[in-house]
Amino acid sequence: MALSLHYYFILFFLLTISKSNSNPSLQNDSNADGFKKWVSWNVQTYKRSSSFEANLGSNRLADGPGPLDPKLAKAEAAKVKYIVSQDGGGDYKSIREAVESIPLKNTRRVILDIKPGIYREKIVIPKSMSFITFLGRSDSPAVITGNDTAATIGPDGKPMNTFHSPTVAINSNYFVAANIRFENTAPYPDVGQAGGQAVALRISGDKAAFYNCSFYGTQDTLYDHKGLHYFKNCFIQGSVDFIFGYGRSLYENCYLNSIAKRVASLTAQKRTIATMESGFSFTKSTVNGSGLVYLGRAWGDHSRVVFSYTFMEKVVISGGWSNWHIQLPEESGVYYGEYQCSGPGANWTGRVHWAHLLTDEEAQPFLGTYYVGGETWLLGPPVAP
Ligand SMILES: *[C@@H]1O[C@H](CO)[C@@H](O)[C@H](O)[C@H]1NC(C)=O
Ligand SMILES: *[C@@H]1O[C@H](CO)[C@@H](O)[C@H](O)[C@H]1NC(C)=O
Ligand SMILES: *[C@@H]1O[C@H](CO)[C@@H](O)[C@H](O)[C@H]1NC(C)=O
Ligand SMILES: *[C@@H]1O[C@H](CO)[C@@H](O)[C@H](O)[C@H]1NC(C)=O
């Protein structure tokens, strides 16, 4: 992460300091205390759901008796579908045209049935345009591609920065995508090159789900910016920090493919204060590819990442985790854990001493869709056309 991220880092550092000063209890928040608070937050949220017992230890989608968010239920009951086809045989010829036709304060589920094709488009879904679904074909997923980087000059004559580099940026809530390939094809950045960050997808909206999607990029492929997110059966490829941000996300059955040439980090999770309910959980996944990767590096002194039931090829560096700018990770709120992982990359022998091999009880909050409060909003994959 180059210049702009350093700025953010300094900014958050200052924010963290000022917050700590105004609330001295945060300063003493040891790793263990922070974790306990978080576990109890999880368990409480989880107990409110009537499916608490039924959900324990399972990863089933919360399609049961849980109280579905009423706004979402209403949107689903009124759903509409439009066909996007480049050959002119549908309702719209481009995804952008389809998105522009949707009312800003949309209240119904709008499914864009996107026919196979390579869509060279830059798409930004505005914040108030909720309930959008991008649905592709499993045998021939639509490809949405672009190549903007942080250094690309935007319409205002200034570099876009990482935030505006995405091929697809989602700012709204309740977004769903299935069978879509999101790409940023910017060339692999040279060592030390500034502005090489090139995001394929940024998800800044709350309660978003991605099924059987793929994300291709090099540096900063998937900007898991903020909100509750669920990724299932996804393929994610990149080099430096290829999953980053401060989302609270569950990645289930995903394939994480490093194309690093030397040493890079798979995640850069940006939890900056103990009160942030943020963190990445990877379960039943595979880590593979080239170079050597850290499972995570601490972009924030409460960075939180857990891998469970994941097969790790030897691409994972033996230390496993990087403290990056955090001087004393064991005394900070950084929380990196592993549970029931396997493969040569999961060998615990060389692990940094401040990483955690989780107990059953410690791992439990991270293992199911309850981790992202799924019982109120996860409906499972949309039915393919
Ligand atoms: C997921 O997408 C791939 C192509 O990207 C396809 O081969 C596979 O059948 C899809 N799986 C499901 C479960 O739809
Ligand atoms: C980005 O893609 C466009 C269109 O294909 C191409 O003209 C341009 O050279 C590419 N830029 C970079 C930096 O690869
Ligand atoms: C990891 O990648 C190598 C090389 O492509 C391949 O031979 C191996 O089967 C992969 N492992 C897994 C678990 O996918
Ligand atoms: C783990 O790594 C150590 C040191 O490299 C090695 O001696 C040991 O055999 C490895 N364990 C497994 C199960 O591969």
Pocket of ligand 3 from Cβ distances under 6 Å: 286, 288, 311, 313
Q: pTM of the entire structure?
A: 0.84
| Domains of the chain with CATH codes | 2-376 (2.160.20.10)
Query: For residue 187, how far is its CA from the centre of ligand 2 (angstroms)?
Result: 9
Q: Number of helices and strands (H, E) in the chain? A: 8, 27
Q: What is the pLDDT of residue 30?
A: 31
pLDDT digit of tens for each residue in the chain (385 aa)? 443 444 333 333 333 323 222 222 222 223 333 333 333 333 333 333 323 222 322 333 444 446 789 999 999 999 999 999 999 999 999 999 999 999 999 999 999 999 999 999 999 999 999 999 999 999 999 999 999 999 999 999 999 999 999 999 999 999 999 999 999 999 998 877 888 899 999 999 999 999 999 999 999 999 999 999 999 999 999 998 999 999 999 999 999 999 999 999 999 999 988 888 899 999 999 999 999 999 999 988 899 999 999 999 999 999 999 998 888 888 889 999 999 999 999 999 999 999 999 999 999 999 999 999 998 999 888 876 6
Q: What is the pLDDT of residue 138?
A: 92
Pocket of ligand 4 from Cβ distances under 6 Å: 347, 349
241 an active-site residue?
A: yes
Ligand nearest to the CA of 314: 3
- Report whether residue 187 contacts ligand 2, using a CB cutoff of 6 Å: yes
Could you tell me which of 31, 14, 82 has the C-alpha nearest to residue 303?
A: 31
Are the CB atoms for 250 and 283 separated by under 8 Å? Answer: yes
Query: Which pLDDT tens digit goes with each residue over 252-275?
Result: 999 999 999 999 999 999 998 888
206 an active-site residue?
A: no
Strand order in the sheet with 267-269: 123-125, 168-170, 201-203, 222-223, 243-245, 267-269, 296-298, 321-322
Query: Which pLDDT tens digit goes with each residue over 231-253?
Result: 999 999 999 899 999 999 999 99
CA distances from 220 to 39, 185, 264, 266, 311 (A): 29, 12, 11, 9, 23
Ligand nearest to the CA of 145: 2
Could you tell me which of 324, 247, 273, 328 has the C-alpha nearest to residue 12?
A: 273
d(CA 297, CA 245) in angstroms, rounded, equals 12
Could you tell me which of 362, 377, 360 has the C-alpha nearest to residue 49?
A: 377
Q: Which of 29, 113, 241, 301 is catalytic?
A: 241
Site to probe by mutation for ligand 2, drawn from 147, 152, 219 as the one with most ligand atoms within 8 Å of Cβ, is 147
